Structure 1
Amino acid sequence: MPKLILIDGSSYLYRAFHALPPLSNARGEPTGALFGVVNMLRATLKANPDYLAFVSDAPGPTFRDALYDRYKANRPPMPDDLRAQVEPMLAIVGALGFPILRVPGVEADDVIGTLALQAQALGIEVEVSTGDKDMAQLVGSHVTLVNTMSNTVMDRDGVMEKFGVTPQQIIDFLALTGDAIDNIPGVPKCGPKTAAKWLAEYATLDGVIANADRIGGKIGESLRATLPQLPLSRQLATIKVDVPLEFGPTELTRREADSTLLRELYTRYEFKAALKELDNAAPASGEGDDTSAAATTEGIATEVAPAEAADFSFAGEYELVTTPAQLDAWIGKLREAPLIAFDTETTSLDAMRADIVGLSLSVEPGKACYIPLGHDYPGVPKQLDRDSVLAALKPLFEDPARPKLGQHAKYDINILSHYGIAVQGLRHDSMLESYVWNATATRHDMDSLAKKYLGYDTVKYEQVAGKGAKQISFSQVDLDTACRYAAEDADVTLRLHHALWPKLESVPSLRRVYEEIEIPLVPVLAEMERRGVLIDGDELRRQSQQLGRRMLELQQQSYALAGREFNLDSPKQLQAVLFDELHLEAKLKTPTGQPSTNEEALEAIADTHELPRLILDYRGLAKLRSTYTDKLSGIVNPRTGRVHTSYHQGSVATGRISSSDPNLQNIPVRTEEGRRIRQAFIAPPGWQVMAADYSQIELRIMAHLSGDEGLLKAFREGGDVHRATAAEVFGLKPEEVSANQRRAAKAINFGLMYGMSAFGLARQLGVDRGEASDYMARYFARYPGVHAFMEATRERAHRDGYVETIFGRRLYLENLTSRNQGLRQGAERAAVNAPMQGSAADIIKRAMIAVAAWLAGRDDAHMLMQVHDELVFEVRADAIDAVRAAVVERMSGAAELAVPLLVDVGVGANWDEAH
């Protein structure tokens, strides 16, 4: 599996500071913590991970501060010697080529948690480098914690050994014990052993609360006295795993190291070993080792280079607009401008909850204005009336003939919609220009783009609003400082467009993807976000109770199979039952040599005894309860009474849309309990939910791209394609194909798209490797076009450094030339899969644009959600037939393939009934 290493930057720095002596250089500058961090980073690079990131806390308050004003109030201020090493640390991290992630409003833990779960869902192994015990809640089958100071690895068994609870119980464990460092109130006198004992007996915090009257002594009194605050403690201790991010795990690749800057920094801080390593790594003849930064960006270097770009790194001139005359003058400029760049300043990153503070505009690179509308600090100078300004600008914003430009414009469009402005004429978005040009070259936020494409360092938020506890909201920033920061946003957006648009124009296929798919999709997604979806909170609460009862039943069944009671969440007790008492064969071991009881290990023995399957079912229900049924009703927007997700166009390299807060892509559908969660997604009275889903779209794209006559015939005849494939592979009539033969054909059909090997197929089918190899050989013999397509795609990828979708979207593949066989084979598998996954993403985007155009002006149907290859609608009951026909027509017509593009449609009172 590919690996992602997420480095907890704050943890690194503090641990190094306290673990190492107070070193300093000849200038007297403190270097102890810096020295420790640099050594850890160098060790990380030697591990040669596929993806990596250095995650640090952004300055300013987080959502937890809003929940509890005493959060982290006990923390002493950062020592001066440590503070002095923060900026040098970030400089070295950046120079080494690490992506640096700092997301305002949340903590580094939340960013790490979000990326870890996203990566795990993509089949990426995740290693979180930290010493923070809170991170134990993230540990899973493919997520481990690594403490580089003690050189220890913590998996699920390690969590149980250290804390006496499972990773799923860590949040409740922390809520009970509290956290003196973060000032999370727990139960006084409740230490780790007591918390573990309670959770072993009652499973969850809710179970402890429900049985509080049964706990005696002083500790019981203490527990009962603090019951009201425990839900808050749990909320504070919970790592947020659905932070809206404009990037995904696969974008976190190492950039080319800045050797000149590294040499300067290493020399200044007297890191002799690092300096020697840098000098020894310098290539002698223009060819570096494949583990160098140059090699990891080799694919990106093959992108088409347009003519030499103009210099956009100069300082800008910005005007603060506070008088009617100034506003009139700018309105005159806007009326004559060929392109209007705009940006909003607000009170929140959540577009559905934010209020506008100011508006910035630019029509010429290097010149921009800021119109303050909601600054509220004492003694603030007179500002123009907000409603009057927006009313004056409304005709310009709503004029489709006046081209507009934004950076992540969907957010600003939604903000202005709160004030009755329906933005029309969005022609460009600098974030999407970068994303379409090269999705993997960089992050697509403004700061990263300005640095990469303009050579320009933007003003950072903390520079104008302060840091840490002293940070103020933007509405309290003085107008002159606010102007410098906000007007720059509009100016830099326009500069980025002038730098990026010529690149797209130089490649007609990319320009078409940008102009015909990505830009038209922005207002479609914006409207879907504003609409939101109804949630039945009572249904979710009932499901939580039912899941609890089912978990109890599984416990009792497990006790009966084991012949005694034991703690299902205890690896040690489970080891004893499975391997010592039932004498099952341990297929996997822990790092300490003990029989493993993680998910992979239990799956490996689930066919030998009923108990491992029961344990897996129990864990699955526990995850559903904690992740979905207990949480979804808590994120309903109080303004609308609905749940509003955020859709991201620029986060997945293949072009797929992702969603967050909540992540609708990960709502389970393969189990009965998982599907029931969709029953809580409902329609209002008189309306119904309609779901339209492409049928086997990626396999149909494979048939189209490969041109294989056998596969084309199977789809054109409209029968069961897996049965038809099995008949070809095994030389049978379709009616003679057995269930196992059809299952094998299905596994091959889908597995080939993801580069499945004979070993993987053997494991999935439960046959030996030789039999699986024989299946695959027969498949390729009957479908030679598929094999030829796969080989040709690999060759083109090696030649060009990228692959393309049907519509011309490119995916650059960084490790195609790596000498590391695992990395190279992974890139080749991605090369085969990306054209199909990316084409499927393009097709559903084109369908959304066409459907939205048909829905425009109608009040009897609304597009609510996009989930992989599925679109979900809210339709008035009397319009179902008309909407179904229109949606099927537009989804089927979103691409012209060599095989029919079929769409399955369902209708019901909720999403589950409709799916």
Structure 2
Amino acid sequence: MKERILIIDGSSLFFRAFYALPLLKTKRGIYTNAIYGFIMMLENAIEKVNPSYVTVCFDMKGKTFRNELYEDYKGTRQTTPTELEQQWPIVRDILDKMNIKILESPIYEADDIAGTLSLIAEKEGFESILLTGDKDYFQLVDENTKVLLTRKGITEMDIISVESIEEEYNITPIEFIDLKGLMGDSSDNIPGVPGIGEKTGLKLIREFGTMENLYSNLDKITGKKLKENLENNKTQAFMSKKLGTIVRNVPLEVTIEDLKMKERNLSELSEMYREYEFNSLLERLPEEYHKADIEITSKALFEYEDRSIDELIKLIENEKSFAFKFITDGKIYESIKPTHIALKAYNNKPVIMEVNDNDILKLKPIFESSKIEKIGHNLKEDIIILMGYGIVIDKYTYDSKIAEYLLNSTDSNYDINNISNIYFNEGYKDLEELLGKGKKKVAFTDLDEVELKKYFAFFLNTVYKLKDIHLGKIAEQGMDELFYEVELPLIEVLSSMEFTGIRTRKSILDEIGFDLEDKLKELEKNIYLEAGEEFNINSPKKLGFILFEKLNYPVIKKTKTGYSTSAEVLEKLRGKGEIIDYVLEYRKLSKLKSTYVDGLKELVNDSTGRIHSHFNQTVTSTGRISSTEPNLQNIPIRTEEGRLIRKAFLASENSLLVDADYSQIELRVLASISKDKNMLKAFENDDDIHKRTAAEVFGVEFEEVTPLLRSRAKAVNFGIVYGISDYGLSQNLNIPRNVAGEYISNYLKHYEGIKNYMEEEVENARKKGYVETILKRRRYIPELNAKNYNIRAFGERVAFNTPIQGSAADIIKIAMVRVYRELKEKNYKSKLILQIHDELIVDAHEDETEEVKALMRRIMENAVKLEVKLKVDMEVGSSLYDTK
């Protein structure tokens, strides 16, 4: 067998990955979808073809020799989105760690470098495999050169050979150059011959072989218009052929031997994968690189002792301080009880013991004592267990997970082992290493007793070791109020919300499901009737055939595998035929049924009749709370069918749900921080802020603002808050990027105070290295010092939007703590059960509803003092549906 060289069309793959995957980004806010998709395709290709040599060819910015032939070559291409641009330097860095050489030229394109290299390889007796998503490479295929063509997304790849080209197209590979000359290429702005597409072009090449032969036999062309187009565009056709011809004599400064696959720098590569949260790529590395390097330096971390529970209680009462962790294999509200508890009295060795209900109740006095300090790591899970035993924890003063989150909000791993490694360069195992994962995961009860005790001794010893360091840093950074008055008490609030859950009735979900099934069946009938046949509606390929070949709808967009039937495409076809509306409705209702009806039913707790969502305090870098299993912050509200799902979420017996929603809190924060006079005035006058923005930005009278203009102004308002780019706004509104850019520009001209705030905040962040919220929540922004412009631009967006989003998060958390505390102190039966974005929802006993409404309004509207008064909208109902 010949040795193989894998030549990768880097630019083609990178763009493909960006558009094939959603805009993935890390907890730090770095976009990574193109990087991830590119590396996955590269790895899959290496696995598939097993090369001995490999290289990546990239296009460089600027004009090439083709622009000298045709000035407008690639002239219609839009500028690269900043979300993609900022990923280029990162992928190059990863390739460097892989020891894969990058080839590029200021004069020639990646295609030309790849073509030249494949020709050199052929002469030296190698087999070349060209990985690309571009059919232009078909012209290079011969007995020694094949194309590995990306077909769908980032996973499907087909080997293209001479035989497969002749079988599919009935032309030879070299004839693709002539086909390009006739067809042109809209993506590269190669004109070709007007009126000639792939079908006509192939027919002509099959008959005449080359363009030269075709033009020598124009008299044989029967179609009058076709002949006329060919005659009138001869010069253009041959120019197009030249533009589409891949050059194979590029001067290269490397030899094939320079591209031999080398050992990768696995240590640095694994660090990068962890930094950018590429867990699936990390798993492709040898097992020893799956986790960060950890050095064990202190045996004292693993020391523990055995004591009776009575001895331990006395010791804790004397020391007045202890760390603890319940050891359990499930949730207390699922009737799964802890099997062990780990306790460490201050200045003593940890004790890890088996426990039963009586043992835990024996500990009740020390947990409820206001004179004994309690500390831990991820205390929410422990407080939920205590609630299951009717134990009300008092005086917990430190949680190492929360402390580390405040000090480093952009990290993604707050495991005690990882934190120990960061501060002390010593550690042991994280939970995944201890218990395994997937099918191989074991329960705590399956662990060897020594292993179990060793792990939790390390756990509690590390909590105490971190405490003074963490609290010192929090004090230094001015976050005492945030830590002690907001984040720490919030742990108990979130524990209570998860433990209580929200009453959910499966029978209502069943009814909604049956109704959706009926609607889906009716839609199926209508779609089949319009199509004239039955087919798999969920198959993009079959749907594309029906719409664009059988029914002849105008083609909006083509992919490498055929016609695009994305939501964006179908929206552009809306109004051109009933089948389009039917398909869009079918997709919407299918998602509702699978994700929300069927998915939610599985999560209703059989013993409590409630859904107990997990509320996460350390996930977002802005300070926002997130919700998982299920995500109750993502229940649909935009459509009536979606809103019906909310009917299944009910108040408790003899209760009502009180839903208090902050009105435009982020915009009020923005007005207050920026002190923009126009926005302040709009809020003072209680104007419709989106309508007011529309009037100013679009230059119309306030009374003449249409719903469409208001909707677009709303997108711009919130887009500014979230640091949206012209590309992002254009995607949201389905408008051209230049129009989106004008919207943003006009907005900043009118709201000059906001523009000045953005510039000042960025400048201050560049000097200090971080930004802060109103409660001094800090976010570091190293991207501001990046050499790459686009990464710096990303850092600038983070710099001005984090104080807005983070301050709004601070305000909501303050309100949550105060509402929960007052309900608890006044011994109300009512409970705070949900936080959905800017809403707080209390399950209010019917006798207390009016008091709860007054309490919530008073607390929420006075949580902090801003330049603009906080405003709360309030609704009451027996279900979440009734409150919206």
Name 1:368's counterpart in structure 2. 349
Worse-superposed segment, 535-544 or 489-498: 489-498
Asked if 1:556 corresponds to 2:538, the answer is no
Name 1:625's counterpart in structure 2. 593
Name 2:153's counterpart in structure 1. 155
CA distance in 2 between counterparts of 1:487 and 1:790 reads 48
SS at match of 2:298: coil
Calculate the TM-score normalised by the size of structure 1: 0.64
Per-residue displacement from partner, 1:178-234 (whole Å, max 9, x unpaired)?
xxxxxxxxxxxxxxxxxxxxxxxxxxxxxxxxxxxxxxxxxxxxxxxxxxxxxxxxx
Name 2:300's counterpart in structure 1. 316
CA distance in 2 between counterparts of 1:498 and 1:272 reads 52
Asked if 1:529 corresponds to 2:498, the answer is yes
Q: Report if the CA contact (8 A) 2:89-2:788 is conserved.
A: no
2:839 to 853, 859, 870: 870
The one-letter code matched in structure 2 to 1:823 is I
The one-letter code matched in structure 2 to 1:542 is E
The one-letter code matched in structure 2 to 1:340 is F
Name 2:379's counterpart in structure 1. 409
CA distance in 2 between counterparts of 1:719 and 1:18 reads 61
Name 1:506's counterpart in structure 2. 476
Asked if 1:427 corresponds to 2:427, the answer is no
Structure 2 counterparts to residues 209-608 of structure 1, below 5 A:
274=262, 314-316=298-300, 324=308, 327-337=309-319, 339-348=321-330, 352-364=334-346, 367-374=348-355, 386-459=356-429, 473-508=443-478, 510-562=479-531, 564-592=533-561, 594-606=562-574
Per-residue displacement from partner, 1:562-618 (whole Å, max 9, x unpaired)?
4554432222222123222443333332234x2211233333443655543432221
Structure 2 counterparts to residues 9-48 of structure 1, below 5 A:
none
SS at match of 2:553: coil
Name 1:162's counterpart in structure 2. none
Q: Report if the CA contact (8 A) 1:815-1:823 is conserved.
A: yes
1:891 to 852, 855, 860: 860
Name 1:700's counterpart in structure 2. 668
Name 2:710's counterpart in structure 1. 742
Cα 1:276/1:745, change in 2 over 3 Å: closer
SS at match of 2:784: coil
Name 2:32's counterpart in structure 1. 3
The one-letter code matched in structure 2 to 1:369 is P
Shift of 1:620: 1.4
Q: Report if the CA contact (8 A) 1:4-1:51 is conserved.
A: no
C-alpha root-mean-square deviation of aligned residues, in Å? 4.2
Shift of 1:664: 0.8
Asked if 1:709 corresponds to 2:683, the answer is no
Q: Report if the CA contact (8 A) 2:832-2:840 is conserved.
A: yes
CA distance in 2 between counterparts of 1:858 and 1:15 reads 60
Shift of 1:461: 5.7
Cα 1:763/1:660, change in 2 over 3 Å: closer
Per-residue displacement from partner, 1:869-897 (whole Å, max 9, x unpaired)?
11112112232211111101111111211
Worse-superposed segment, 723-732 or 867-876: 723-732
Asked if 1:785 corresponds to 2:753, the answer is yes
Name 1:854's counterpart in structure 2. 822
Aligned-pair identity in percent equals 34
Name 1:651's counterpart in structure 2. 619
SS at match of 1:815: helix
The one-letter code matched in structure 1 to 2:471 is W
Structure 2 portions without partners, runs of 5+: 1-22, 24-30, 57-83, 99-146, 158-258, 278-294
CA distance in 2 between counterparts of 1:708 and 1:617 reads 42
CA distance in 1 between counterparts of 2:90 and 2:490 reads 30
CA distance in 2 between counterparts of 1:394 and 1:292 reads 46
Q: Report if the CA contact (8 A) 2:662-2:873 is conserved.
A: yes
The one-letter code matched in structure 2 to 1:902 is K
SS at match of 1:630: helix
Cα 1:492/1:864, change in 2 over 3 Å: same
Shift of 1:468: 8.8
CA distance in 1 between counterparts of 2:85 and 2:319 reads 52
Shift of 1:272: 9.3
Worse-superposed segment, 790-799 or 687-696: 790-799
Shift of 1:730: 5.1
SS at match of 1:368: coil
CA distance in 1 between counterparts of 2:419 and 2:387 reads 27
Per-residue displacement from partner, 1:402-448 (whole Å, max 9, x unpaired)?
22111000101112332332221111100011000011145111121
Q: Report if the CA contact (8 A) 2:657-2:841 is conserved.
A: yes
CA distance in 1 between counterparts of 2:504 and 2:703 reads 44
Shift of 1:471: 7.0
Structure 1 portions without partners, runs of 5+: 22-31, 40-45, 54-91, 97-148, 160-270, 283-290, 298-310, 375-385
SS at match of 1:631: helix
2:690 to 722, 740, 743: 722
The one-letter code matched in structure 1 to 2:313 is I
CA distance in 1 between counterparts of 2:648 and 2:544 reads 38
Structure 2 counterparts to residues 111-126 of structure 1, below 5 A:
none
Structure 2 counterparts to residues 150-229 of structure 1, below 5 A:
152=150, 154-155=152-153
Asked if 1:845 corresponds to 2:813, the answer is yes
CA distance in 1 between counterparts of 2:378 and 2:677 reads 43
CA distance in 2 between counterparts of 1:470 and 1:312 reads 26
Cα 1:352/1:802, change in 2 over 3 Å: farther
Q: Report if the CA contact (8 A) 1:454-1:496 is conserved.
A: no
Per-residue displacement from partner, 1:490-510 (whole Å, max 9, x unpaired)?
1112122233222212111x3
SS at match of 2:783: coil
CA distance in 2 between counterparts of 1:150 and 1:475 reads 50
Shift of 1:458: 1.6
Per-residue displacement from partner, 1:645-689 (whole Å, max 9, x unpaired)?
111101111111111111112211111111110110012332112
The one-letter code matched in structure 1 to 2:837 is H
Q: Report if the CA contact (8 A) 1:312-1:495 is conserved.
A: no
Name 2:797's counterpart in structure 1. 829
CA distance in 1 between counterparts of 2:847 and 2:437 reads 55
Asked if 1:905 corresponds to 2:874, the answer is yes
SS at match of 2:461: helix
Calculate the TM-score normalised by the size of structure 2: 0.66
Cα 1:292/1:156, change in 2 over 3 Å: closer
Per-residue displacement from partner, 1:264-311 (whole Å, max 9, x unpaired)?
xxxxxxx995558799x99xxxxxxxx9899999xxxxxxxxxxxxx9
SS at match of 2:509: helix
SS at match of 1:334: helix
Q: Report if the CA contact (8 A) 2:773-2:804 is conserved.
A: yes
Shift of 1:479: 3.8
Q: Report if the CA contact (8 A) 1:354-1:415 is conserved.
A: no
SS at match of 1:427: strand
Q: Report if the CA contact (8 A) 2:374-2:397 is conserved.
A: yes
SS at match of 1:699: helix
Per-residue displacement from partner, 1:367-395 (whole Å, max 9, x unpaired)?
53224225xxxxxxxxxxx3454344221
